Amino acid sequence: MADTQQTIVEGVDALTLNGKLETEATATAAAASEETATTTANVEDVVDPWNVASSNDAGIDYDKLIKRFGSTKIDEELIARFVKITGKPAHHLIRRGIFFSHRDLHTILTLCEQGKPFYLYTGRGPSSESLHIGHLVPFMIAKWLQETFDVPLIIQLTDDEKSLWKDLKIEEAIKLARENAKDIIAVGFDVDKTFIFNNLEFMGKCPAMYQNIIRIQKCVTFNQVKGIFGFGDSDIIGKIGFPAAQAAPALSSTFPFIFGNRKLHCLIPCAIDQDPYFRMTRDVAPRLGFPKCALLHSTFFPALQGAKSKMSASETNSAVFLTDTPKQIKNKINKYAFSGGRTTVEEHRQLGGIPDIDVAYQLLKFFLEDDDKLEEVRLAYSKGEMLTGEIKKLAIETVTPIVVAHQAARKLITEEVLDKYFEIRALKFSS
Ligand code: TRP
């Protein structure tokens, strides 16, 4: 037992909430001091799988977060290697630093160079009926990575997680998972290379997944999950055990019908708040004879009210939903999108606006693919040549067709189409 724990804490990826190394004995103290830090001062941004908050208008300090989590910044050199290996420009979300941090991406690129296989894994916790535009981000990049590398993609819907964390009945969570899957499929995944599953139904059909969950749970103590996730003594036991369910798909043997008994590398695109799950996974995987999963982390999608918080489906006015009409989108952006503009036109013309805190500009950064146009807007807005109303208009014109196209694509996703993605089957992949 003591040996086992030793192996974990000595791993490169520290098993803690803030990414610092610690021993099991100090885990509780560390969790407690973290709590004090978030309640007493606003100096530290709060980032964990359930809370994201910053006191700064420009949002989370991501450089600090990289240090705290112990991940690596995606730099020009890595992007250049990406471009060289794939032979195409990096995705705009990577070029613009929205996917800004990683773990072991070089290992994945080396596998590509050697023509060796790997797979992609991402997921969603189905907590609401309709997704907002920010939810598209990990799936946009997953689609691009799937097409670029021609690799299989696994999408996990954690209806179990949402049922444990929210006031949500099992039956309702399952329903939401299936509804959300339609939105995900509408992003345009190749059915021959994509497997989607919801935990509450899949696990009963796939003993290999439950067996891996137990293997993972045998490797992690309560003190360690306390340190990583901040769980307390009065948290329900379902929460304490859950992280293993999000870790399991990062082991290829969870899907014997796709990967047989091959031990493949896995790349996980996700928002950085999911990193704690995968720090835990990366510590456990080698002990179970698997490679550590690689990660590609994104920043958060800002709420319309500004980057101090992220867009949230439970705050209706903070989000542009994929079900919104063009009129609703227009009204919401005009009314709520936090402006980096000045109080009067005169002042704005004189001093210029601040794109970094301007939500309309942020929307363009996520969704306007044309680099030249984006740079033109940034300059014009910073110099005060472009006004808030104008940048909002451009944001509306950029976001609306994406939402409209999404709605059209989603209409085509019938129950039969859905079943095809959920079917337990082999996937096609070249290597
Ligand atoms: N926990 C994630 C959420 O609440 C869902 C999820 C499951 C996930 N597996 C994942 C996200 C893998 C990213 C990568 O949204």
Model's pTM, two decimal places?
A: 0.91
- Last residue within a domain, chosen from 303, 325, 340: 303
Report the mean per-residue pLDDT for the chain. 91
pLDDT score of 413 more than 80: yes
Q: Take residue 43 and report the two structure tokens written for it.
A: 């100096």
Judgement on whether residues 186 and 326 belong to the same structural domain of the protein: no
pLDDT tens for each residue of 176-217: 999 999 999 999 999 999 999 999 999 999 999 999 999 999
Q: Which of 23-32, 322-331, 391-400, 405-414 has the lowest mean pLDDT?
A: 23-32
Strand order in the sheet with 265-271: 72-73, 99-103, 294-298, 265-271, 118-124, 153-157, 194-198
Distance CA 428, CA 431 (A): 9
pLDDT tens for each residue of 94-121: 999 999 999 999 999 999 999 999 999 9
* Residue 384 · residue 352 · CB < 8 Å: yes
pLDDT score of 41 more than 50: no
Judgement on whether residues 254 and 186 belong to the same structural domain of the protein: yes
Q: H or E element: which one contains 80? A: helix 76-86
Judgement on whether residues 289 and 326 belong to the same structural domain of the protein: no
Distance CA 111, CA 105 (A): 10
**β-bridge partners, 73:** 101
How many domains are there within the chain? 2
pLDDT at 391: 98
Residue 429 is assigned to a structural domain of this protein: no
CATH number at residue 144: 3.40.50.620
pLDDT at 44: 80
| Residue to mutate (ligand 1; options 124, 132, 162, 203; most atoms within 8 A of CB) | 124
Residue 272 is assigned to a structural domain of this protein: yes
Judgement on whether residues 254 and 330 belong to the same structural domain of the protein: no
Q: H or E element: which one contains 120? A: strand 118-124
- Last residue within a domain, chosen from 303, 337, 369: 303
Q: Take residue 390 and report the two structure tokens written for it.
A: 């104008």
* 125 Cα to the center of ligand 1, angstroms: 6
Confidence of residue 431 (pLDDT cuts 50, 70, 90): low
Residues of the chain above pLDDT 70, percent: 90
Judgement on whether residues 381 and 268 belong to the same structural domain of the protein: no
Judgement on whether residues 244 and 379 belong to the same structural domain of the protein: no
Judgement on whether residues 273 and 330 belong to the same structural domain of the protein: no
The pLDDT of 236-263, averaged and rounded, is 97
Q: Take residue 410 and report the two structure tokens written for it.
A: 């989603």
- Residue 103's identity, in one-letter code, is R
* 199 Cα to the center of ligand 1, angstroms: 11
pLDDT score of 135 more than 50: yes
Confidence of residue 7 (pLDDT cuts 50, 70, 90): very low
Residues of the chain above pLDDT 90, percent: 85
Higher pLDDT, 41 or 114: 114
CA distances from 331 to 206, 316, 322, 324 (A): 46, 13, 15, 10
Judgement on whether residues 109 and 215 belong to the same structural domain of the protein: yes
Residue 424 is assigned to a structural domain of this protein: no
The pLDDT of 346-353, averaged and rounded, is 97
The pLDDT of 302-327, averaged and rounded, is 94
Judgement on whether residues 58 and 181 belong to the same structural domain of the protein: yes
Judgement on whether residues 227 and 363 belong to the same structural domain of the protein: no
pLDDT at 389: 97
Among protein residues, the one with the nearest Cα to ligand 1's atom 8 is: 123
Residues spanned by the domain of 204: 2-303
The pLDDT of 355-366, averaged and rounded, is 97
Confidence of residue 129 (pLDDT cuts 50, 70, 90): confident
Q: Cα dihedral sign for 191, 192, 193, 198?
A: positive
Residue 310 is assigned to a structural domain of this protein: no
Judgement on whether residues 200 and 227 belong to the same structural domain of the protein: yes
Among protein residues, the one with the nearest Cα to ligand 1's atom 1 is: 125
- Last residue within a domain, chosen from 277, 303, 329: 303
| Residue to mutate (ligand 1; options 156, 183, 200, 281; most atoms within 8 A of CB) | 156
pLDDT score of 318 more than 90: yes
Among protein residues, the one with the nearest Cα to ligand 1's atom 5 is: 124
The SS3 call for residue 140 is helix
Residue 426 is assigned to a structural domain of this protein: no
* Residue 232 · residue 191 · CB < 8 Å: no
Token pair 């698997």 in the structure block, residue: 290
Residue 279 is assigned to a structural domain of this protein: yes
Going by C-alpha positions, the residue among 329, 336, 331 that lies closest to residue 402 is: 329
- Residue 126's identity, in one-letter code, is P
CA angle 280, 58, 346 (to 5 degrees): 170
Confidence of residue 48 (pLDDT cuts 50, 70, 90): very high
Judgement on whether residues 280 and 396 belong to the same structural domain of the protein: no
pLDDT at 191: 98
Among protein residues, the one with the nearest Cα to ligand 1's atom 3 is: 125
CATH number at residue 400: 1.10.240.10
pLDDT at 232: 95
Residue 422 is assigned to a structural domain of this protein: no
| Residue to mutate (ligand 1; options 120, 122, 164; most atoms within 8 A of CB) | 122
The SS3 call for residue 172 is helix
